[in-house]
Structure 1
């Protein structure tokens, strides 16, 4: 997972290293994945969370 300058979180297929989706997360400062990889948590500049 990466966040680019446009505020998009790129979801990457680790088997192919290809970007499979972009999700808008403007203002994100921290991104973490659950241990099983089924969820992503994003903290934005207002300290709210998105899943």
Structure 2
């Protein structure tokens, strides 16, 4: 858990910079975190959507 927490701290600026405007400027840190988690979970089959 510590390694993941450290990775997030070290890479949060790069993730934020990769987000398109206007989302980057309008989204809260919590919304950006949820987006990251959603994409990671979808990518690994932990969340399903209608199109799956």
Relative to its length, the structure with more helix (as a share) is: 2
Q: Taking structure 1 as the reference length, what is the TM-score of the superposition? A: 0.24
Question: TM-score by structure 2 length?
Answer: 0.24
**Structure having the higher Rg:** 2
Q: Which of the pair has the greater relative contact order for Cα pairs under 8 Å at 6+ separation?
A: 1
